Amino acid sequence: MIHRSSGAVETQHIISDKDWKQLLQDSRITTQQLLEAVGLRAHPQAESEAERLFELRVPQPYIDKIEAGNPHDPLLLQVLPQQREFDPMPGFVNDPLQERQFSPVRGIIHKYQNRVLLIASQACAIHCRYCFRRHFPYAEHRQSRQQWLEALNYVRTHPEIDEVILSGGDPLVLDNDYLAWLLGELADIAHIKHLRIHSRLLSSLPQRVDKGLLDIVTACKKPLVIVVHCNHPNEVDEHLQVALRQLRNAGATLLNQSVLLKDINDNADVLAELSHALFAAGTLPYYLFLLDRVAGAGHFEVSSEDAKRVYTRLSASVSGYLLPRLMVEIPGQVAKTPVTITE
């Protein structure tokens, strides 16, 4: 169960730039350090060698939300390197969304007609083991401010683009000055109607919401949508609730997207609790995705039929505005694809 926020938390001081940056820097740990931090000497599925496949990163605020001594904790299982990551699985590949073919210039992915995604950062505060970009060639998209000019010019010369999505990695690992510059450049493009930030960092490092970031949100010249990524209600602790409310009060529209994960949130009651917790913090459930079939993540997959059963039960237990859309991303389609529940 999650811990509900108290009035005292609402008035807490916003943590300083230095503090969140130090927490970010300290997020690189080992499998054994992770287990020790959550009161476990060992874990039947843990495999430190899997760190070679995908580096382990977990910030302390996320670790603090893991139940001590519980090897089945749903937050722990999202980040724990496992032997099963070495198991070859048919259909699981390094680039499940075929993003390389949709990159017309460095730093940009243009899959859908009216919107583009900017790889604003190569880093993330937390490395979720199911991440569809765990094999992404970030070195090919690393940009300085000067190098961003080609990507920005691409957006300027394509008037069909009306929305730009900052992704990564995680765009909120950028410092405030850099983030303000990038959002400002995009907001000055006349045909851009909305800006969007996708971030897993908020649920793993809510201390990132400092005064500088809130000022950026308030000052943004175009409507700003922030899509957070929470998979389980235990992620929505009092610190995240405060951070989300601060962002909403600063003027951002807040949405959440989740990934349906085996033995973590493939349960209608868990998903209903997540929706209620998010809504209490001013965030609307948006998407519930089937797993992108990235190599190393096969043990997280929920079958399409099981997903439909869970979603049907969820639909019956929450109001419509608390129901995320069950979706799958299929390479080459003109948009994300809704999962059909009934024939």
Please give the pLDDT value at position 173: 95
Residue (of 295, 290, 293, 292) closest to 94 by Cα position: 295
Please give the pLDDT value at position 72: 97
- Per-chain mean pLDDT for the chain: 91
User: Is 86:133 a contact under the CB 8 Å cutoff?
Assistant: no
> What does the pLDDT average to over 63-80?
98
pLDDT (tens digit per residue) in 124-180? 999 999 998 888 766 666 677 778 899 999 999 999 999 999 998 899 999 999 999
pLDDT (tens digit per residue) in 145-159? 778 899 999 999 999
Please give the pLDDT value at position 35: 98
* pTM across the whole model: 0.92
Higher pLDDT, 331 or 81: 81
